[in-house]
Amino acid sequence: MPASEFKSNGVPKIGVYVCHCGINISAKVNIDEVVTFAKTLPNVVVAREYKFMCSDPGQQLIQKDIKEHEINRVVVASCSPLMHEPTFRRTTAEAGQNPFFFQMANIREHVSWVTADGTKATEKAKALIAGAVRRVVLHEALEQKRVSVKSDVMVVGGGISGIHAALTMANSGKTVYLVEREPTIGGHMAKFDKTFPTLDCSACILTPKMTDVRSHPNIKMMTYSEVQSVNGFVGNFDVEVRRKASYVDNSLCNGCGECTKICPVNVRSEFDEGMSMRKAIYRAFPQAVPNAFTISRKGTPPCQSMCNIHQNAQGYVTLVARGKYPEAMEVILRENPLPSVCGRVCTHPCTVACTRAKIDEPINVPGLKRFVADWAVEKRLDYHLPRPKTERQERVAIVGAGPAGLMCAYELRKMGYQAEIFEAQPVAGGMLAVGIPDFRLPKGTLVGEIRKLEEIGVKINLNSPVGQDGLTLKRLHEMYHAVFIGVGAHVERKMKIPGENLGSVWGGVEFLRRVNLGERVRLGRRVLVIGGGNSAIDAARTALRLGAPEVHIIYRRTRAEMPADPDEIREAEKEGIQFDFLTAPKAIHGDRWVTSAEFLKMKLGAPDESWRPRPVPIPGSEFVMPCDDMIVTIGQESDLRFLGNGMSLESTKWGTIVADPLTLETSVKGIFAGGDCVNGPEIVVTAMAAGKKAAISIHRYLNNLNMFVGREQEGAFESNIVTDTEGYLVKKRVPLPAIALDRRQGFEEVHLGYSEEMAKEEASRCLACAECCDCELCQTVCEPKAIDYTMKDSVEKVQVGAIVLATGFKAFDAERIPRYGYLKYPNVFTSLEIERMVNASGPTGGQVSLRSGEKPKSVGIIHCVGSRDETTNKYCSRVCCMYSLKLAHLIKERTGGNVYNFYIDMRTPGKGYEEFYDRLLEEGVHMIRGRVAEVTDWVMTPEEEGKLVIRAEDTLIGVVRRIPVDMVVLSVGLEPRPDADDVRRLFNISCSQEGWFLERHPKLAPVSTFTDGIFLAGACQGPKDIPDCVAQAGAAAAEAMALIDRGYVQLEPNTAFINEDVCSGCKTCIVLCPYKAIAFNLKEGISQVNEALCKGCGTCVAACPSGAAQQHLFTDEQIYEEVEGVLSYV
C-alpha cells in the first residue's frame, strides 16, 4: 500500500549503505554486486559501500546524503541491530531526521559469518537488504518515552564481588541493598588463607572491606536473606526479599558468644567444609559481618514428629550426651508427666523414624528417657512439673486415671484449669498400674510420677466408680464445666467356646489385675495362655513368676504375625515359656475346674482385614491338652455400662464410645472421650495423645473457640527434614542390660537402665536432624535477651533502579570422579578443605595433617578435577593452576615434605603469575605434566606400602609413573551454583550452556545482560580469580551508576496502539496482555493501550481479529513488506 497513507515525511527517498566491516563481510559478500542490486530497488536513490560504516567517516557519509540528496529513509546493511542500531539511529537523528526512519540488515552475523559459499552469501545479503528497503518505506516518525529511574541499587551476593560493587556505589552516594543468603558476608574468599600470587593473607585484605560494609551509612545489609521476586523493568524494579528468621535479634545481640558455649548441639561446620563441628547457634567465623549469631533450625525432627505427644526426643537425647540430666528432665516434662513409664513400656514410634537407622541402628530413645527419669529418682532430684501461670475457675471432671486421663489432667492444669479425676480402682494409673506386671514397670516409679501430678493440683478420687451410688456421668456433666472419659478397656473378650466359665479359666486382664493389686493367686502345674499380644506375654511371664512350672502360649497364627513386642517374645522364650503356634482352642473340659482343653491345628490362609493371613482350621486335627489353668488374652473391650441412664451418649457396636476424631467430642456437648474406650486397645502413648487432644478441645470449648481449625499436626506426622548421612562411622546401639535369667523368679524388673557412661555413649549417636534441639538453654544465658524462638521469616519490599548479581560459584563435587578416591580414601582432600586446613583459624589451626593427625611427608596435588574434562566440565576453571601452586607452596612451607603437581598445562596468565610459578619450581615443587589416571591403594613396592599411589602418564618423558604419597589434594574446578537456573528466571536473564549467567556481549558488554538494568559481577558470570572479580565488580557498579545518574531511561517506542475507528471492542487483547496495559473504555466501547505500561511484545496485536491493534516498528504491513522483500529474489 502507498506510503502516503502513513504519517510520514513525504515521498520515500532511501539510501542504502553496505558495510565491509573490514573483511568480515566483504570476504564473503560481493559488496559491489550488492550495491548495484540495491540501486535497482524501488525508492532507493543512493546506494553506497564503505569499509566501516560505524566509523565517523562512515556515519558522515549517511549524514551528507541526508543533507545533499534529501535522503529521508536509511538502510544500513552491516552487523546485528543488537550491536549498532542505536549508533545509526543517532547518526540519522544528528542529521535532523527522526531516528526511526531507519532499518538495519544483518549481513554479518546472519550472512557472512555463517555462510560457506560466497555466491550464496551475496544472494542472502541482497534478500535481507530488499526486505529492509521494502520495510523502511512504511516506517513512521516516533517519539521515545522517557521514564525516571529509582536512585537506589541492589547487590545480590555478599562475596568479594558483591562487597566491592556495593562499596563502590555506596561511596558515590547511592543507597545500596546488599542481599546475602548466608548469615555473614565474605563468601568463598573469607575461607582462604593466602591469595596468589602475592601470598598476602586473605582475611587481612577482606575483613577491612567487610567492616566497611557494616559501618557504611549507605549500605543496608540484608544477610540471611534471599530475593523472592522481581517485578518492574529497568530503572524501576520492585524486589521482594525474604529475610529468613535467625531467631537472634541482631540489634540486641552483642556477640558475646555465651550462647554457643552452652549450646549442646554439634553439627558439621559449612565454613570449615565439614572438617570441624559448629554449634546449632553459631557465628560462621569470628570476624563475621554482621557480627551476630544465628540459630539453624530445620523444623521438627523425625523422632519428635512421629511421637504421638511430640516429645522433644532430640532435645533430651542431646542434653544427655552432654551430661545435662536435669535440663534433659525439664525438656521431657514439657510434654510428658510420666517419663519413667514411657521410658519402659512405650512402644516408641520415635525410634522407627530415627534417621540414624540409615547408618546402623536407631537411637534407643526410650532407654535414654528412662535413664534420665531414673537418674532423677536416684539423685533425689526434687523436680516439679510446670505449674500454671494463672489459675482458672473452670472445673473439668475426668473419668479414669489411666494414661489418657492423667495426660488430660496434666495439660488442663498447665493451662490453669481445675482437673479432678474419678478412678474406679483403688490405685491410679489404669492399665499401667493393674495391667502391666512389676518386672516390666515397677509400681514405685509410677506412683512417684502420679504424686508429682497431684503436687501441681490434679485431684484424684480413687475407688470412685462413675455410674454407681449417685456418682453418675449425668451429675458430672451438670456439676463440671466439661467432662473427659478415658476409662480404657479393662474387660477381657470371651472366646465364645464351651467351658469358658469353668473355674481357673482366667481373663488376662483380671488375672494381671489381681496379681498387681497383690492378691495371692495360686496356679497349677501347667498353665495355658491363649493369645499373641503383649498381655499374653505379660500373663505368661507372670504365671511363671508365680511358680507355675510349665507355661504355654498358644497362638492361632505363627510367630511372624504375633502383635507382641519382639524383644518381649525373646525374653519370654529365654525364661522358658513354650510357644504353640497355629493352634486354637475348641472347647474347655472339666467339671468345676478346668482339667484339659481341646485344640485345633490351623494353617494360614488369605489375608484378612488386618492384612495378616487368616488362620484356617485343619479339619480332623483336634487334640486334647491337659492343663490346670487357662489364661485368655485375646483382646479387651470397655465396660460402658456406667454411661447409663439419662445420657444419650452414642457408642459403636464394638462397644466403643463415638467421638469426633479431630476434637474427641462425643455426641453430647461438653463431654469428650479418648483412648482405648474410643479406639479399642492401643498403646500407652496413643492414649496419652488422646488425653492431650481432649485437653486442647476442652480449652477451646470453654472459651468458645473453633474446635476444628489448625489441628492437622496433632498426633504423629511425617517430618520434612532431610539429613545427610554421608561419612558417619557405623556405631551400633548400646544394648540395654538385663538381669540374669536365674534372678527372674520374683517380680524384680528385668531390664536394668543404662549406666551414665552407656547413656552418654548412646546419646552421642544422635545426628541432630533438626540442628537446633529447642532445649532453650541459650536463652537462659543471653543477657541482652536477643534470642527469640518465635521469630518468623519476613518479606521486605524495596524499589531499586538497577541490580548487580554477584551470586558466585560452587566448588566441583569431587565425589563425581570416583577414580580419584574422594570419600573412599580418608587422606584424599579437596582444595577447599586444604584452604581451611592451612588457615590459622581453621580446624587444624594451620597445620597440614592427615586424618591420623601426623604430618604428610609427601603430597600430590591433582589439577583440573572437574575442569577440561568431557565427562564433567569442558571449560577451564582458570583459578586452579594458580591456587594449586599457592597450596603447593603453603604445604611445602608447613610440612617440608615433597609436593607433586599433576597438571595438563600450566595456565599462569596474570600479573606476577608466571613469576610465582618460577618461584615454586625453585622451591623444588615437583611438576608432572599429565592427567592423573587414578588414585589407588594398590601398592607394588615396599616403599609404596601404606601410601596412596597416584598413577599418571608423564607426557614430558613419555612414561606412566606411580607416585606414592601420604596425602592427595584434588584441585576442584568452579561450577555454577546449583540454583543458578532459578535465579536467572527470577531476574529474567539468560544462562550459557554451562549455566553461567550470560553477558550481553562477550567483548563489548561483559557485565551487562540482555535485561536492561541487571548487571553481572564475579564468578556467577564465569570462573574468575579475585583480581578479575573485583575489576568486574567495579565495572558493574560503574554501569549501574551510569544508568542511574542519567536519571531516566528511554524506552524503545515499539509499543502497541489501537486504531479506534477499527476496534470492535471484542476485548480479546485485554486478557492476553501480561502487563495489564490495555483497558476497556466503556464510553467509546473500545480498548485502549496505556503506553507507560506496554512493554511492546505485540501479543495483543497478533491476536486482534480486526487488525485494530498495531505495534510501532512492527505493524502488520511493515512485516508483510519485509517478508515479501526477503522472498523476492532477484
Partner 1 sequence: MSDMYDSGTNGRFEPRIVAFFCNWCTYTAADLAGTSRMMYEHNARVVRLMCSGRLDPQFVLHAFREGADAVLIGGCHPGDCHYQSGNYKALRRFRLLQRLLEQMGIEKERLRLEWISASEGDKVRQVMNEMTEQVRQFGPLRLRPMPNAPHSEPVADLELAVAAVEQGMS
Partner 2 sequence: MSYLYYPGCSLKGTGKAYEESLLAVFQALELPVQELEDWNCCGATAYMAVDELRAFALAARNLSLAEQQNKDSGTKTVNLIAPCNACYLVLMKTQHYIAEYDEIRRKIDTALEAAQLRYDGRVVIRHPLDVLVNDVRLEEIATHVRSPLTGLRVACYYGCQIVRPYAAFDDQDNPSSMDRLLRVLGAEVVNWPFKTRCCGGSLTGTIREVGLRLNQIILKEARKRGADVIATACPLCQFNLECFQTDIKKQFGEDLSLPVLYFTQLLGKAFGLSEKSLGLQRLFVPLELAAIEQKGGARASV
Q: Which entry of partner 1, partner 2, none binds 709, CB below 5 to 8 A by partner kind?
A: none
Among 32, 70, 117, 748, binds partner 1 (CB under 8 A): 117
Residues 836-865 touching partner 1, rule: CB under 8 A, are none
Contacted by 985, from partner 1, partner 2, none: CB < 5 to 8 Å by type: partner 1
CB of 727 to partner 2, least distance (A): 16
Site string for partner 2, 819-848 (x = CB under 8 A): x-----------------------------
Distance of CA 323 to the CA centre of its chain: 31
913 binds, among partner 1, partner 2, none (CB under 5 to 8 A by kind): none
Given a contact cutoff of 8 angstroms between Cβ atoms, the answer to whether 1093 and 1074 are in contact is: no
> With contact defined as beta carbons under 8 Å apart, do 214 and 288 qualify?
no
Cβ-based nearer residue to partner 2, 260 or 936: 936
**Dist. CA 1071–CA 1100, nearest whole Å:** 9
Q: Is 119 in the site for partner 1 (CB under 8 A)?
A: yes
User: CA separation (Å) from 829 to 682, 813, 817?
Assistant: 52, 11, 13
Closer by beta carbon to partner 1, 53 or else 861 = 53
Within 72-91, the residues that bind partner 1 by CB under 8 A are: 80-83
The H helix count followed by the E strand count for the chain is 32, 50
Task: Give me the least distance between CB of 18 and partner 1, in Å please.
Answer: 17
Q: Residue 819 binds which one of partner 2, partner 1, none, with CB within 5 to 8 A depending on kind?
A: partner 2
Three-class DSSP category at 297: strand
Distance, in Å, from the CA atom of 65 to the CA atom of 218, rounded to the nearest integer, reads 51
The nearest distance, CB 1004 to partner 1, in angstroms, is 11
Q: How far is the CB of 273 from partner 2 (least distance, A)?
A: 23
Site for partner 1 in 932-991 (CB under 8 A): 985, 988, 990-991
Burial class (CB in 10 A: 0-12, 13-18, 19+), 612: middle
108 binds, among partner 2, partner 1, none (CB under 5 to 8 A by kind): partner 1
- Site pattern 1085..1124 for partner 2 (x: CB under 8 A): ----------------------------------------
Examine residue 197 and say whether the peptide bond preceding it is cis (omega within 30 degrees of 0).
yes
Question: According to the binding rule CB under 8 A, does residue 960 interact with partner 2?
Answer: no
Q: Using the rule CB under 8 A, is 818 a contact of partner 2?
A: yes
Cell (9 digits) for 555 = 497362638
User: Which member of 218, 936, 1054, 1099 binds partner 2 (CB under 8 A)?
Assistant: 936
The residue within the footprint of partner 2, chosen from 937, 979, 1084, 1124 (CB under 8 A), is 937
End-to-end CA distance of the chain, in Å?
21
Q: How many CB atoms lie within 10 A of CB 469?
A: 7
Of partner 2, partner 1, none, which one sits near residue 311, judging by CB under 5 to 8 A according to partner kind? none
Residue 630 dihedral angles phi and psi, to the nearest 5°: -135, 130
Please choose, out of 34-42, 227-235, 404-412, 930-938, the segment that lies near partner 2 by the rule CB under 8 A: 930-938
Supply 436's cell numbers. Answer: 502391666
Q: Residue 708 interacts with partner 2 (CB under 8 A)? A: no
Residues binding partner 2: number (CB under 8 A): 7
**Of the candidates 825, 836, 899, 890, which has an alpha carbon nearest to the alpha carbon of residue 863?**
899
Q: Is 520 exposed, middle or buried (0-12, 13-18, 19+ CB in 10 A)?
A: exposed
Q: What cell was used for 8?
A: 510520514
The Cα 1099–Cα 1071 span in angstroms is: 11
Using CB under 8 A as the binding rule, whether residue 1010 contacts partner 1 is answered as yes
Element (DSSP H or E) covering residue 1118: helix 1116-1127
Site string for partner 1, 1056-1095 (x = CB under 8 A): ------------x---x-x--------------------x
Residue 461 in the binding site for partner 2 (CB under 8 A) = no
Q: Which three cell numbers stand for residue 698?
A: 476442652
Smallest distance, Å, CB 938 to partner 2? 5
Which residue in the set 19, 833, 1098, 1108 belongs to the binding site for partner 1 (CB under 8 A)?
Answer: 1098
Q: Hey, CA dihedral for 503, 508, 510, 516, is it positive or negative?
A: positive
Cβ closest to partner 2, residue 818 vs residue 845:
818
Instruction: Give kind and range of the element (H or E) at residue 693.
Output: helix 684-702
The Cα 834–Cα 241 span in angstroms is 35
Nearest-angstrom CA–CA distance, 367 and 373 = 10
CA distance 1070 to 858: 72
Taking the C-alpha atoms of residue 342 and residue 747, their distance in angstroms, rounded to an integer, is 19
Q: Is residue 1076 exposed (0-12), middle (13-18) or buried (19+ Cβ within 10 Å)?
A: exposed
Q: Does 123 bind partner 1 (CB under 8 A)?
A: yes
Q: Single out the segment in contact with partner 1 by CB under 8 A; choices: 115-123, 311-319, 373-381, 504-512.
A: 115-123
Nearest to partner 1 of 730, 1004 (CB atom): 1004
Angle at 433 between CA 431 and CA 438, to 5 degrees: 115
Helices 566-574 and 534-545, packing angle to 10 deg: 20
- Do 969 and 861 meet the contact criterion of CB atoms below 8 Å apart? yes
Part in contact with partner 2 (CB under 8 A); list of ranges 206-214, 287-295, 898-906, 933-941: 933-941
Which residue, 940 or 1123, is less far from partner 2 as judged by CB?
940
Which listed residue (89, 108, 191, 490) binds partner 1 by CB under 8 A?
108
Largest CA distance in the chain: 135
Cα–Cα distance for residue pair 278/265, rounded to 1 Å = 8
Residues 1024-1063, one symbol each (x = binds partner 1 by CB under 8 A, - = not), give ------------------------------x---------
Closest CB to partner 1 among residues 108, 174:
108
* Residue 1122 contact among partner 2, partner 1, none, beta carbon within 5 to 8 Å by kind: partner 1
Nearest approach in angstroms of CB 1052 to partner 1 is 8
Question: Which range touches partner 1 (CB under 8 A), out of 103-111, 329-337, 601-609, 908-916?
Answer: 103-111
Nearer to partner 1, 54 or 521 (CB): 54
Spatial contact of 812 and 933, defined as CB atoms under 8 Å apart: no
What residue type is 812 in one-letter code? F
User: Which of the choices partner 1, partner 2, none does residue 936 contact, using the CB cut-off of 5 to 8 A by kind?
Assistant: partner 2
Task: Give min distance, CB of 616 to partner 2, in A.
Answer: 24
Sole binder of partner 1 in the list 1, 114, 739, 795 (CB under 8 A):
114
Minimal distance, residue 563 CB to partner 2, in Å: 24
Could you give the CA distance from residue 212 to residue 289 in angstroms, rounded to a whole number? Answer: 10
938 binds partner 2 (CB under 8 A): yes
Pairing, β 236-243 against β 225-233 = antiparallel
Decide if 417 contacts 410 (C-beta within 8 A).
Answer: no
**In sequence order, what DSSP letters do the residues of 925-992 get, joined into one string?**
-EEEES-EEEEE----SGGGTTSEEEEEEETTTTEEEEEEESEEEEEE-EEE-TTHHHHHHHHT--B-
Distance, CA of 1087 to CA of 1100 (rounded, Å): 11
- Report what 536 binds from partner 1, partner 2, none; CB cut-off 5-8 Å by kind: none
Q: Which of 119, 720 has the CB closer to partner 1?
A: 119
Residue 1102 lies near partner 1 (rule: CB under 8 A): yes
List interacting residues with partner 2 (CB under 8 A).
818-819, 934, 936-938, 940
List interacting residues with partner 1 (CB under 8 A).
80-83, 106, 108-111, 113-117, 119-121, 123-124, 127-128, 131, 985, 988, 990-993, 998, 1002, 1010-1011, 1054, 1068, 1072, 1074, 1095-1099, 1101-1106, 1111, 1114, 1116, 1119-1120, 1122-1124, 1126-1130
